[in-house]
Amino acid sequence: MGPRAITRVVYDRLNRRGTRLQQGADDPDRLVGVSAGELLEWAWLTIQISDWLAHAGSATRLDFARHFDGTRDPDKTAVFLEQIGERMAALLDGDRGQP
């Protein structure tokens, strides 16, 4: 029995709803509900981390390179994080423009 099967059994015993959510984890296109406030907090945090990484000192950049084994560039990652944060925030912004 693999980890997902064990998780399903545990959720099944605790809550049928949890089982349905867990089964959807294998489908990356499945829509899931997230509260607007939580999504806005994720957007804000993502943008803040992006800004921090874009202005990181040399020690942080060395840690970043060591952690990602040289496969990620901190500047490109910062831009990517900023774009993710702006897209999340734009989902909640409607017609008022971007944050």
Same domain, 56 and 99: yes
Same domain as 37, residue 19: no
Taking CA 44 as the corner, what is the angle to CA 21 and CA 23, rounded to the nearest 5 degrees? 10
In this structure, are residues 60 and 77 in contact, taking their beta carbons and an 8 Å threshold?
Answer: no
Which residue is listed with tokens 């202005």?
55
Task: Judge if 65 and 91 occupy the same domain.
Answer: yes
Q: Report the pLDDT value the prediction gives residue 64, as an integer from 0 to 100.
A: 93
Per DSSP, helices labelled H in the chain are 3-14, 16-23, 36-54, 58-67, 74-93
What's the pLDDT tens digit per position in 13-35? 445 545 455 555 567 777 777 78
Domain match, 52 and 71 both: yes
Max CA-CA distance within the chain?
50
Rounded CA-CA distance 55/25 in Å is 35
Enclosing domain of residue 72: 33-99
Q: What is the pLDDT along the chain (99 residues), one digit of tens a residue?
A: 444 444 444 444 445 545 455 555 567 777 777 788 888 899 999 999 999 999 999 999 999 999 999 899 999 999 999 999 988 888 877 655 544
b vs e for 83-93, b when ≥16 Cβ sit within 10 Å of the residue's Cβ?
ebbbebbeeee
Tell me phi and psi for residue 31, to 5 degrees: -80, 140
37 and 21: one domain?
A: no
Number of domains in the chain: 2
Residues 25 and 4 in one domain: yes
